[in-house]
Structure formats: C-alpha cells, structure tokens
Structure 1
Amino acid sequence: MKKLCLLFGFIHLALSLHAQEPKKIFEDDLPKEEVKQLQFYAFYINQAVSSNFYPENVFMKGQVIGRLFGDNTTRTSNEDVTMYVEQRLIPFFIYQPKLFNGRALLRASFEIDYTWGDASYGAGGNLGGAIAADFVNIQTQNIELELIPNAYWKVNLGLMRMFDTPYNPYRTFFDKMLQTGYRLSYWGTDAVGVTARRDDDISNLKLGFYQLYENNIEEKDDVYLTEAHYQQKITPKWKLGTSLYYLSDRSNGEGGVSIYAQGLNSKLNGYNGTFRFFDFGTREYKADIAWVGGYFSRNEDFMMDRWQWTGFFNYNLGVAQVGQEGEWVKGADIAGFSANTRLAYRFGQTINDHFSVDAIFASGDDNALEDKRYSGVITGNTWGAPAGIFIGTGSYLLFPHGNVVNRFTPVVADMSNMGYGLVGGTLKASKDFIPNKLNAKLGLAHANSIVAPQGGGKVIGTEVNTALSYNFGPFMSLEFHAAYMNLGNFYESNDDTYSFDINGTAVSEGRPENPWTAFLVYKWLMF
C-alpha cells in the first residue's frame, strides 16, 4: 500500500509540474476551420471462410469465442469442412457541438454482425442474416464523452475502449496500438469508467478507473480496475513507459458472461483458455491483483529509419482469500510474469516491405495450486470474453488474429496458455509488389508450453500462413488469407483435448486433427 501511495504521489507531483508549464488554451485560439457538428465513420467487413473446425454444440450458431478445443466445444475434423459467409458493420458517430468550440464531443459506436443465412424474425447479437431478416441485432459498443479542457488534457467518460497502451484509442491508428504498450494482450476490450490523459510531444500520461461488474448495487460485490500509465520520449526514436494496474474482485463470480459467470472461480476460464484451477467450490472468495510493468519502443511509426523494435515486461501479483468457518483464509498467492519483444527491418520503400520476428514468454504453474500459489499469468480474459486480444503477431491459428466476425477461436487464446505458460513467437515477411497497392505475406509461428500437461508434452505446434491483398483505394481492400497448423504432443493430454457426447460430457479422443483455415475478405474503413 505504501508503494501504491508513493506511486500516485509521484503522479500528483508530475501533474503539478505540468500545470506550471505554459499552455495554449483553446479559448485563446480561433479554430483553423469550422467544426463539423456531426461526423460519421464506419468499418465494414465481408468474408467467406472455410476451415476444418467448428463448435459441436448446436446452440452455438451465433458468436463463438474462446480456446480451440476448450469448453466452447470447438474441435477439428478430418471429415467435416465449414463453408460460410459472415458480415460486420461498425458505424461510428461523433457529435461535436459548436457551442463548446470543439472542447466537448460525444462518440457512439455500434456493431451489427451475422452469418449469411443464420436466423430471422428474432432478437439477439451476432444473428440476423437469413431470408426476410427483420432481426433485432444492433449491439452498443461505445457511448462516451470526451472533454478537452485545453490543448494537452482529455477526459473520457462512459462506455469506452479499454486498451493497455498509453495512447488515446480514439486518436491513434489501431495498428500502432497492436505494437506498443502491452499490445492489447492484457486488456483490449470495452468497459465503463473514466480516464484522464495528458499528451504532448514528449510524454503520455493516462489515469483510469473502470467498473467491470457492479452486480447488486446495495452490496460490496463489485469488480473494478484502476490504471496508471506514463511514457516518456527519451530521444526522437526511443520511448520508455511504465504502468500499474490494480483489480479488486469482490463478486465471488457473480455476473459475467451468460452461464459461464466471471472471475477466478468461474467456468469462463475453461472457455477462454485461462487458468481454471482456482477451484474454491461454493465458498466465497475475494481477490486483490496488481500488474506492474514497463515497455519500450524504438521507431514505433517505422518512418525514421529501417529498424523498429518494441517490447514489454509485466509482472502480476496478488492474493485470493476464501471464506471458511466465518473467517478469511488464503486460497492462493498469485505471482507470474510475461515478456515480449518484436524486431522488424524495412527493406523497401513502404512500411509493408519488411521482415519481423516476434517472441513471447509467459511463466507457468506446474502443480495446480497444491502449494496454494499460482505462478502463471492472469489477463483480462478471466473477467471478459474476450478482454485481452493478442492479435498483432501475424498468426492465424496458433495465436488470434483480427479478421474475425463471429468466430474467435485460436489454439492459444490467452497468454497464460491455461496456466501452463508459453514460449514461442512468429516470423513474417511482407512485400508490396505494387507500392501501397498489392501486398503479399508469408508467416511462421511456433509455441511450446513451459509446463507439460498430464499425459502430454510441451510442444503446442507450428503454423505456416500466407496472405495476398489488393487495395482499391484508401482503406478499401480485398484480401486472401490461409493457414495450416501442425499440432504437437501438448494435445495428447486428456486435460487439453476433448470432444463432447450427446449429454455434454467431455470424451477424450487423443491428439486431434491439425487445424487449417482459408478466407477471402473485403474490408472498407469509411470516412
């Protein structure tokens, strides 16, 4: 607690020093051009997909999220091949009234997803593409205010992007956030809360509070998260940053994602591929967890020279206590860490002409809390589905990728790898055969677990992938992607690979078939 107070004391001091700097207030400026009161943006994606994996549960016709071979019932097959087309539209509205001269605005974004031919005349998310349609399927993504008291400060309030980078998610290209900070691997989702940030030419400061779950308003059964980020430009090419996160979980798993609930003791862990052995039974629990880390970047925009380098280190620590005979006893200590680094070299005239290597490590636990200590990684995927998305590696099957609408089912859906830990990475070569027009990519990905599951080995598998894309114009493209993965002996374990019988009981079938996928994508980011 003393360390927390000391850190926030430093932050208060930094704010005080910033307050002494001369600032240019919008009240002193004339707008360079007339402020548009209402703006519209949208992201559209249409893709045709074929693969050899699918959910066995007949009720999962809409959105399917989580680990391949996990509790979401997804499995591979040597006989059955999927063929489907899916579609997404994310409209984005910004209202910036002239009355406040650009210093206050409202953002609202929504999401409409469906698979062609799935359902009609109903209500719910991720459905509505069958004949006659008439489906109530719009989903609220963000409703938030941005208040701009001066040229440096911005305050965001409401349902907003919760990304684990120091940058403003509404004023930064998404690709940049996939390569900086913690790359959305811990927190990459939406949440309600308030953030205050100060951005200038040499530093970025962000403070945030998020209410993850409120549950019963009259009881102390909430889950909330606080964050602090600070990044400093050391030289024109180098930046260094640090962060502190703290999560308080008093929900005892109440609330959450459908019947899976959320938190350390929920079925969501088997669904998402996070550590699932916080098995406290029917006893109450409370958890306090912190994440302390740092990150760096060199030439993060890939424009100052031909080398780009980024990386992070993050340590999670905490304790979970369990109610027993009227008192709280230790359920588990938590102490684990992860590290990542990515190095890229640009050999051509565009930023798409490059080679890159991406390496990741996450500690693991080898005794399933027999020593009442979890030594693996915890991410936001313990509380959301998904809440951490590590989609910037270039993998399609081994690690998650962003070209998805309704089906987000990678082999490793969470950095913790179910608590077994992870060491692996990707290699990628990309070239523009027509600058900024025609691009081709080749990729390789491999991963091992730190701890071998019972009955299995440490080799998770190796993936090869390729992509070819053509840009019709600014932010409009047609792309073809394909990937194949050779599964390792990690999946010979009954704990990691299973099918389900008609009663929903897990049935081991040995090592599953190797997954593959291919899809044709049309994308348009509209301005």
Structure 2
Amino acid sequence: MKKKVLAVSAACALTAATAVPALALENEFHGMFRVFGTISNYNDGGSGQILPTDTGAYSTGVLKYNGVDPKTKSFVEQRARLMYIAKANDDLKLVTHFEIDSRWGDTSYANGRNGGGAVGADTVNFETKNVYLDFNIPSTPMNFKVGIQPIVDSYKGIFINADAAAALATAKLGDGSVLVGFSRLDDADTFTLGSATATRVASTPGKAKRDLYIVDGKYNITKDVKVGASYYLLNVDQTAAAAYDYMLHTVGVNAEVKLAPLTLDGFLLYQSGRSNGADKIDLNGWAANLTAKGKLGPGTLKASFLYASGEQNGTRDDSTYRGITNETSTANGEHSFYESDMMIMFRNKMNITGDRAIVYNVKNVIGGFVGYNANITPKAFANVNAGFVATDKSNDDFGTGRVNGGGHKSNYLGTEINGEVGYKVFDNLTASLQGAYVFLGDYYKDTVGTAANPDDPRNPYVGRIMLNYAF
C-alpha cells in the first residue's frame, strides 16, 4: 500500500511540475527610497515657480512676503517608488510602478497623495504612476507599449517628460528605429492660452481633449555618430472654449558625435500653429541645445547651452516655445531640462514634492551651464555646477515687474552655483550633502517693495542632506 501511495504521489508531483511552465510568471521587483532634510529660504515643500514676491500667481515659494524677508524653512520629505513587473515570457510583460510621498509631520489618518508623515501615519497615499503592457510581435521587429507609461521626448525632456496614457509602437530597422505613438493627455480640460482661461465644463469624452501624436526616428550612421528626427502634433480640441482650439506642430532634429575624448550632442526644435480665436494668433517658437562633455582627470567636465524662444508681449505668447503642461494641476510643468544640473534655476531630477524653480516651465530662456563630476575614491564623489540664465524677451514670465514702473532693468535672471559631496555606503545606498545659491540678476531689480521705496528680493538658497537607496 505504501508503495502504491508513493507511486501515486510521485505521478501527481510530476504532472504538476510539467504544468507549471505554462502558467509560471517571472516576477521582478525594483524601486528606490529617497529621504531629504532641507533648509531653504524659498522651498516650502510645494511645487511651482519661485516668485520674487507674494503678489504673483502663487502665495508660497516667494522671496519676499508682505515686504518682509522670507523665513528660513526646514523640513524632511521622503519618497518610495515600487515597481513590479510580471513577465510571462521574453515577449510579454506587465509593468506597474507606484509611488508614496510624505513630508514629515504633514498629515495622518487621511486620504490623499503626498501625506501620512504626521504622528499616527496610517494614510491612504498610494499613487499609481504606470500600468502598461510591454510586448513584442514574434518574428517581427515590432514592440508595443500600451497603457499609462513614461513618455520622454528625444530632446532631453524639454517638450515632454511625463507619465501619460499612450499607445507606442517601435520598429527596429537595421541600424535605426522608428517610434509611432498616440497619447490622450487630458479630456474636457481647462487650459490657458496667453492671458485668457477657458472654464472647465462637462462634455462628451473625446470632444474636448488634448491629444499628442508622436513620430520619432533614430539612426546610427556609425557607432560614434547618431542622428534623429521627430514630429510631434499637439491637437487641442477644446469645444468648450472654441476660441482657443489649435494644432501645434513641433519638428525636431538631434545628433550625437563621439570624438574621443569628447562627446558632442544637441538638437533643434521648431514649432508652428494657429489658434482659432478672434485674433487668429500664429504660433511660432523654437528651441536649441548644444552639449559637450569629456573625461578630465578623475571625472567628467560638461558644458551645455539652452535656448527656448519667448515673446515680448506676454499676453499673446505667439513666438514662445512651449512644452507640454498639465492643465489639471496647479503646478503644470510636464517637461524639464534636467541636464542643466541646476537645483534652483531649473527643476532638479532629485526633487520630491519640494519641486520649485525659477524657470519651472522651459520657455523664454537662454542658459549656459558648466559642471564637473569627480570620482574622488571608488566610493566618494563630488560634483560642482554653475548656471548663467537670462530671458529671451523681457516680459513677465518669471515674476512681477518693477514696482516703480517701466520694464525690467535687464534680461539677466541670475547665476547659480551648486555642489554635492557624497559617499556610497553600499553599492545601492548613497549619502550626500547638497547646496545651491543664486545671485539674482537685474531682471529682479526693484521688483518688490513700493514705488516710493523699491527693493530687491532676497537671493534664494537651499541646503540638503540625502539618503538614496535603489534596488
């Protein structure tokens, strides 16, 4: 009897073992945890543009408040990102990505994002960043990604660098590739063109929306020379406010050339369109970038230039370069220029919820940046950067005008210097100290105070201590 029971058990186990491969999934887990301690005179843990005074669009993140210098702020914020990938086989997987943000002491026993750091915690604050299928068509060069996913342009993120619902198809063709895609950015939305704002109203899905169409090609001429070209069509079909309907065409070229020990890369973008308002505004803008970097001593030296056109008449914005914005959020930047490595002048890639910058949306700006990243020892490193930033046109994109009348005294926004020293405690855990200071330019001269007693806003600064764990 025992032999029969053992034989039957062995047969059942063998049957189960042979059935497993058809049902088995390969599970992958990735993620990161980052915690910041911050001290600053402008960063209040919020996001959006840094303004010289409290008379602008935001009541926080200012460099002057009711004529009083800003108080020093200190806080700690943390972010966890968790990614789970369910891989059925080499050609099919489901990618999910979640986020939990908190500022210590903010809220508890609540529902909503960016909370749960107060005593008691227990907050429902689980954010969904990505949920999409990633699959290949067997025996073809085709790959598809369908669902809410990260979308980054081929221009260092200055047009779009965001999570969005999209369907993207990529074909690898020899030494090149072509990507074609569609994204619905928002539906029945509120948005601004110039100084006029449409009102959000209920509508039929698909009848008042912003859609983005993407065609992006890349080709490796040699292993050291790469080129690319793109066409992005933004279709703003706001039937609730027909005066602001428009199509924005963005055409770009980009290239990278390696001339050891130097690497050069850059791009050129041109935009055109026409609004359907009574004044029939022609939309024309352009942006350009050139970056050079190479090994020097124990590290890498980098220099970069960025231009994004502006318009002298800020109420029209017809000659302003424009990236994708989020019209359902108070802080609307869904594009960036992280390559600047600025911490105050531009948004920084390490920011959590305290995501403020003087140039929050990339437009009407000219910037030059230099930096050096050094590996002091196998575990210790140091980085130093400087940025020199001005406006293209002296309109009011970056704060209020002079209180005693007249235009800005200069187009120069300011100079930022920043640095970081860090140490790899483990391969996956890094500790670092960061600091940045901006010497504001004459663009901000006499922009606060009163007409009788004009004053300048205070120079912004920030210091941070960070732990960053990636797995």
Normalised by the length of structure 1, the TM-score is 0.73
Q: Partner residue of 2:337?
A: 390
Q: CA deviation at 1:71?
A: 2.1
Do the aligned residues in 2 keep the contact of 1:423 with 1:447 (CA within 8 Å)? yes
CA deviations 1:363-415 (Å, max 9, x no partner) are 2211245xx67111011126463210211211111111111111111111122
Q: Partner residue of 2:394?
A: 452
Q: Give the one of 39, 43, 47 matched to 1:50.
A: 39
CA distance in 2, matches of 1:440, 1:477: 12
The yes-or-no answer on 1:41 pairing with 2:30 is: yes
- Give the aligned residue type for 1:143: V
CA distance in 1, matches of 2:41, 2:218: 44
CA distance in 1, matches of 2:95, 2:206: 32
CA distance in 2, matches of 1:67, 1:317: 26
The yes-or-no answer on 1:438 pairing with 2:384 is: no
From the superposition, tell whether residues 412 and 219 of structure 1 become closer, same or farther in structure 2 (CA, over 3 Å).
closer
Q: Partner residue of 2:163?
A: 190
Over the matched positions of the two proteins, sequence identity in percent amounts to 22
Q: Partner residue of 1:285?
A: 244
The yes-or-no answer on 1:92 pairing with 2:76 is: no
Structure richer in strand, relative to its length: 2
Q: Partner residue of 1:320?
A: 275
Do the aligned residues in 1 keep the contact of 2:178 with 2:216 (CA within 8 Å)? yes
CA distance in 2, matches of 1:120, 1:402: 28
Q: Give the one of 129, 153, 171 matched to 2:117.
A: 129
Say what the alpha-carbon RMSD is for the aligned residues.
Answer: 2.4
Q: Give the one of 94, 105, 125 matched to 1:106.
A: 94
- Give the aligned residue type for 1:241: G
- Give the aligned residue type for 2:262: W
- Give the aligned residue type for 1:344: K
Q: What are structure 1's unaligned runs of at least 5 residues?
A: 1-33, 56-62, 166-181, 255-281, 323-328, 500-507
- Give the aligned residue type for 1:430: N
SS in structure 1 of the partner of residue 106 of structure 2? coil
Q: Give the one of 306, 320, 333 matched to 1:376.
A: 320
CA distance in 2, matches of 1:144, 1:79: 44
SS in structure 2 of the partner of residue 191 of structure 1? strand
CA distance in 1, matches of 2:449, 2:333: 22
From the superposition, tell whether residues 91 and 164 of structure 1 become closer, same or farther in structure 2 (CA, over 3 Å).
same
The yes-or-no answer on 1:467 pairing with 2:420 is: yes
Do the aligned residues in 1 keep the contact of 2:181 with 2:215 (CA within 8 Å)? yes
Give the aligned length.
Answer: 409
From the superposition, tell whether residues 190 and 382 of structure 1 become closer, same or farther in structure 2 (CA, over 3 Å).
closer
- Give the aligned residue type for 2:255: F
The yes-or-no answer on 1:511 pairing with 2:459 is: no
Q: CA deviation at 1:222?
A: 1.4
Q: Give the one of 68, 81, 84 matched to 2:50.
A: 68
CA deviations 1:207-228 (Å, max 9, x no partner) are 1100011233356211100010
Q: CA deviation at 1:330?
A: 4.0
Q: Partner residue of 1:83?
A: 74
Q: CA deviation at 1:246?
A: 0.4
Q: Give the one of 155, 164, 168 matched to 2:144.
A: 155
Do the aligned residues in 2 keep the contact of 1:54 with 1:76 (CA within 8 Å)? no
Q: Partner residue of 1:358?
A: 304
The yes-or-no answer on 1:199 pairing with 2:188 is: no
Q: CA deviation at 1:511?
A: 2.5
Do the aligned residues in 2 keep the contact of 1:489 with 1:511 (CA within 8 Å)? no
From the superposition, tell whether residues 159 and 205 of structure 1 become closer, same or farther in structure 2 (CA, over 3 Å).
same
Please list, as runs of the form range in 1=range in 2, the aligned pairs for 1:196-235 lying within 5 A after superposition: 196-199=169-172, 202-215=175-188, 216-218=203-205, 220-235=207-222
CA distance in 1, matches of 2:205, 2:271: 30
Q: CA deviation at 1:102?
A: 2.3
- Give the aligned residue type for 2:75: Y
CA distance in 2, matches of 1:204, 1:117: 48
Do the aligned residues in 2 keep the contact of 1:430 with 1:439 (CA within 8 Å)? yes
Q: Partner residue of 2:400?
A: none
Do the aligned residues in 2 keep the contact of 1:183 with 1:392 (CA within 8 Å)? yes
- Give the aligned residue type for 1:386: G
CA distance in 2, matches of 1:133, 1:119: 7
Q: CA deviation at 1:475?
A: 3.5
Please list, as runs of the form range in 1=range in 2, the aligned pairs for 1:298-313 lying within 5 A after superposition: 298-299=257-258, 305-313=260-268
From the superposition, tell whether residues 76 and 238 of structure 1 become closer, same or farther in structure 2 (CA, over 3 Å).
same
CA distance in 2, matches of 1:374, 1:155: 36
- Give the aligned residue type for 1:158: G
CA distance in 1, matches of 2:249, 2:269: 10
CA distance in 1, matches of 2:374, 2:145: 38
Do the aligned residues in 2 keep the contact of 1:293 with 1:315 (CA within 8 Å)? yes
Q: Partner residue of 1:521?
A: 466
CA distance in 1, matches of 2:214, 2:144: 14
Q: CA deviation at 1:493?
A: 6.8
Do the aligned residues in 2 keep the contact of 1:67 with 1:413 (CA within 8 Å)? yes
Q: Give the one of 281, 284, 307 matched to 1:335.
A: 284
- Give the aligned residue type for 2:390: N
CA deviations 1:327-349 (Å, max 9, x no partner) are xx443110010101110121246
